[in-house]
Chains A and B, each alone.
Chain A
Amino acid sequence: MAEVTLIILQGFILMKKHHKTMVITMTVAVFVSAIYFVILYHNIYKIPDTLEKEEILPVFSVDQNITLSFNNNIWDNIKPVSVRLSPQSARTAFGKYEKKITVRGIYNKEDIAFLIEYEDATESRGGLADPDYCAILFVPANSPASAQMMGFESIGNIWRWSALRDAKKIAIIREFVVHGPTTQKPMENQNVLGQGIYSKGGWKVLFIRKRVKQQKDDFEFMPTKKFKIAFAVWDGEKLETFSRKSISILRALTLE
């Protein structure tokens, strides 16, 4: 075994032999490599300023109870946030390129709720065309940027409102856990309530859920937990389903 150590060490001994040139060459080599690496790493992985600062979606605290009604004035004083949506895959020319939706978010001790309003030329509830859908995606705030795609490389919660189920008044909003495209699985318990109404050429959709954690994969909306939120809209008239939809950027959600 002494022979083993001897031969393997022989290589290192030869290198460590105190000779100025060898030491200098190796030091220079390692130094140059380190600089090279730093230059590469910095240039490849830095996020430049051209990236927008995160927009924030504030969710405001209210005192009253939150109900499924559109008629109460609980939403009147809440400032709407305008969110821009663009097509996920604009190869197939569908729909209007840009959509704008307005979002309002409120919470009280028990519940959290979102009101989404947007223009839609037709009220599609199934039938010949596909139904309209509207959905919200939540991901933890520390998720990587790839989570933009349905929580890929992280975990996400999706609340999806369907105009067809809305008409049937059954399971109007479905709750899913996602880990990326096509990975959606319905949650064990469906805890999100809501409804939508079509008026004046557009939809108003309401989502309400308890803030506490109620099952394994769902999220808890407490001040200590930070989330990001994104929205998606399908225009059934244009046969938009699955990946053919318009989505928004992930933005930070804050409980004001």
Chain B
Amino acid sequence: MKKSLLVLTVITLCVSFFLYANSANSHGSPANAEEKQTELGSSDNGKDVHESSGNGKERNIELRAKRYSFSPSVITVNKGDRINIKLISMDVTHGFFLDGYGTEVTVPPGDWKKFTIEADKTGRFTFRCSSTCGEFHPYMVGYLRVLPNWNYYSGIFLIVILGIGSLILTLTGKGSPRDKLFWVIPLSWRFELTKFKLVRALFKSRWFPFIALLINIWVFTIILLAAFVGGFSSAGNYNFGIMMVWILWWVLLMLFMVPFIGRFWCMVCPFPLFGDWFQRGKLISVGRQKSRGLNKRWPTKGRNLWPLVILFFISTWFSGFFTVRPFATFIFLSIIIGSATIIALIYGKRTFCLFVCPVSGFQGLYANFSACEIRVKNPDICKKHKPKTCFVGNEKGYGCPWMELPYDMNSNTNCGMCLECFKTCPHDNMAFNLRPFGTDFMSARNPADELYQRRGTDEAFKALTMIGIFLVFYFAFQGTSGQFKDMLRATTLGGYFTYIAGYTLVNFLVIPAVFFLFAFLSKKLSGDNGVKLKEVFVNFSYCLVTVGVAVWGAFSIGIILPNGSYLLHIFSDPFAWGWDLFGTADFPWTPFLTGATSYLQIFVIIIGLLFSLEYGFKFSLQTYSTPAEAKRGWIPMLIFLIGIHIFFIWLFVG
């Protein structure tokens, strides 16, 4: 208890500092946009800085907007400055909207508008184009940094304090015990949702999750139709397909589904439906247990995450296309549905879901972090039960389509939550549990243990590449470099291939090499000569799972808050045909709570840090032979984690 009190005190201190620093901001008057068209366009060249009356300087900035960036893309001023912006459009109509301040201005092509901003709030605020100017319009942004950037400093301060605090606690042996999370939550805590009769009845019905799948089929029909009629160059933000898949679904996946309910999407995913139907001969009732078709078995050498690492990575090469062009999404989704069906004809059961579906890789790995699981309640019942109907199936349901052994399952990685095992178990021995975050990381490591869970370089590289992919997505969709976006969109072939080459190198060489260096330092410092370096590398890479969950979550916040309002439009006018089904078609673009983006992102990153510190040391204890070695070996890794979290804070709010 004393330790938890200590931790609580530290956290309270940090939070109070944070709040105090931010209360130093006067919440000044909102939108201060005066449009002035001057009669003489004589040159205000660049940034003139004059003294002005009042407590800040006058800053004059010529802000040039072109597709898809601003120049200068980052403006840094001090609190109290008066920023006079001359917004010039270099090609088509552009606009300017400042998060947190609410200023909104539109400028016609080749024209300019002057307006003033009183920089009375500190922090980093994104300004974005507010008039649809092209397909990458939602991602045309720049940053206004008003110093001193208290959010940024507090974020770094928090990270350093938490890191040092955590280090001191672990080194003095007062760290969180092996079987507890944050000193208080037992890793073995479970709350069984299926103990409620209604829930269990639902899970045992053959209509569940089929009914959710059905609704998804209908929604995807609309998505595919909208993406199809959208063509290559209709506005993505007004297209049902683009908005639902790349804004709504992606954000829900990264912010809610994966962190909290693991592979929930796989439960309701409509893509394997046709494959399943063909293999089983029946849609909802129980047909053949053995898949129709060639029913091959995916080769052993490929029964790992490597195919998924590569396939997901390759699909992200096209992120500059399918996220903004409806027909590109149509082709992409069709390829996935097509492959799902074709693979189901050749291979048995959910081979596609396990080894080919691009989304499956990170869902499986990140589901280890989630707060839900499906496990047996009482393993003794399973020991006496023959045959194992959860694996071979019976008249009530199919044998695990994910080719897992439900009676023996100890991690979420390959469980697609299809709920067949609930239906086939005659003893109702399967349970859907709520649990503490990340308990799967601790699954038994000794191959001799009953619940041994393999760890391998494939999963390590999945965790690593997800970070690299995040970085590229960040620069593409929330970054300010127009040149980078041009390369991503293949405005020139040379630029595109340079981008692909660099992207691949960073993901498969640079980032793993950096991580490898720290793993190497960890082993050296620990003094443990018996442990394999590969084991150190792989074990610690699971810290990057919690980091990944956090940064992708923070990224999603930055996507949904500015662009979520388009959803109201597309519900009323899904195909951009001029409909108004629910009366919301005229709902204007309304960024929502964008002033809070920085706070939310810092919060999520700090949560990620706490988990990665917590589990990181537990990994250290698992890897090294003695606690003393584990403590020493932990230090380089802790430094690495602190370092990358500072980097992420800089990226998001610095």
Contacts and interface: CB of A to CB of B under 8 A. Distances in A.
Q: Note whether A and B contact each other (Cβ less than 8 A).
A: yes
Interface of A: 3-4, 7-8, 10-11, 14-15, 17, 19-22, 25-26, 29-30, 32-33, 36-37, 39-41, 43-45, 88-89, 91, 146, 149-150, 152, 180-182, 185, 241-243
A15 B310 contact: yes
A243 B302 contact: no
Given A25-B307, A29-B311, A88 B356 contact: no
Contacts of A146: 90-91
Contacts of A11: 306, 457-458, 461, 508
Contact of B109 (A32, A88, A242): A88
B110 interface: yes
Interface in B469-527: 490, 493, 508-509, 512-513, 516, 520
Contact of A149 (B110, B310, B314): B110
A117 B143 CA distance: 48
A241 B88 CA distance: 16
Contacts of B39: 241
A17 B233 CA distance: 42
Interface string B397-414: 000000000000000000
Contact of B516 (A4, A150, A185): A4
Nearest to B534: A7
Interface string B596-617: 0000000000000000000000
A39 B331 contact: yes
Given A21-B298, A43-B232, A180-B90, A243 B111 contact: yes
A7 B310 contact: no
Interface string B286-327: 000000000000110110101100110011011001000101
Contacts of B318: 33, 36-37, 40
Nearest to B39: A241
Contact of A44 (B110, B232, B304): B232
Nearest to A42: B232
B262 to A, nearest CB: 26
A15 B233 CA distance: 37
Given A14-B304, A36-B332, 4 more contacts: A33-B317, A36-B335, A89-B110, A152-B66
A203 B438 CA distance: 79
A76 B168 CA distance: 94
Contacts of B232: 40, 43-44
Contact of B321 (A25, A40, A149, A185): A40
Contacts of B457: 7, 10-11, 14
Contacts of B311: 29
A44 B306 contact: no
A44 B490 CA distance: 10
A8 B513 contact: yes
B537 interface: yes
B314 A30 contact: yes
Contacts of A43: 232, 327
Nearest to B306: A14
A215 B540 CA distance: 64
B328 interface: yes
B301 A22 contact: yes
Contacts of A19: 299, 301-302
B370 interface: no
Contacts of A32: 335
A40 B299 contact: no
A182 B310 contact: no
Nearest to B86: A182
Contacts of A3: 520, 533
A185 to B, nearest CB: 8
Nearest to A182: B88
A36 B112 CA distance: 40
Contact of B110 (A7, A22, A37, A150): A150
Contacts of A88: 109-111
A149 B302 contact: no
Given A7-B457, A8-B516, A11-B461, A181 B90 contact: yes
A17 B356 contact: no
B531 to A, nearest CB: 12
B310 A89 contact: no
B111 A8 contact: no
A25 B547 CA distance: 30
Interface string B33-65: 000000101010000000000000000001010
A22 B111 contact: no
A44 B234 CA distance: 11
B91 A91 contact: no
A4 B517 CA distance: 9
Contact of A15 (B91, B108, B306, B327): B306
Contact of B89 (A8, A22, A39, A181): A181
Contacts of B325: 40, 44
Nearest to A43: B232
A20 B346 CA distance: 14
Contacts of B62: 182
B109 A149 contact: yes
Contacts of A89: 108-111
A36 B331 contact: yes
Interface in B55-84: 62, 64, 66
A10 B112 CA distance: 56
B90 A152 contact: yes
Nearest to B111: A243
A27 B43 CA distance: 57
Contacts of B41: 182, 242
A10 B512 CA distance: 12
23 contacts: A8-B509, A11-B508, A14-B301, A14-B304, A15-B306, A19-B299, A19-B301, A21-B299, A22-B307, A25-B307, A26-B307, A26-B310, A32-B335, A36-B331, A37-B490, A40-B318, A40-B490, A44-B490, A88-B109, A88-B111, A89-B111, A150-B110, A243-B108
A92 to B, nearest CB: 9
Contacts of B111: 88-89, 181, 242-243
Nearest to A8: B512
A45 to B, nearest CB: 8
Interface string B202-234: 000000000000000000000000000000110
A242 B42 CA distance: 10
Contacts of A26: 307, 310
Contacts of A150: 110
A192 to B, nearest CB: 21
Contacts of B317: 33, 37
Nearest to A32: B335
B509 to A, nearest CB: 7
In this complex, the member of A33, A44, A88 whose beta carbon has the largest number of chain B beta carbons within 10 angstroms is: A44
In this complex, the member of A4, A11, A33 whose beta carbon has the largest number of chain B beta carbons within 10 angstroms is: A11
Contacts of A8: 509, 512-513, 516
Nearest to B310: A26
A185 B43 CA distance: 9
Contacts of A243: 108-112
B88 A181 contact: yes
Nearest to A241: B39
A150 B302 CA distance: 57
Contacts of B64: 180, 182
A63 B644 CA distance: 74
Contacts of B327: 43
Contacts of A29: 310-311, 314
Contacts of B331: 36, 39-40
Contact of B301 (A4, A17, A180, A185): A17
Contacts of A185: 43
A19 B66 CA distance: 49
Contacts of B520: 3-4
A108 to B, nearest CB: 35
A181 B513 contact: no
A25 B356 contact: yes
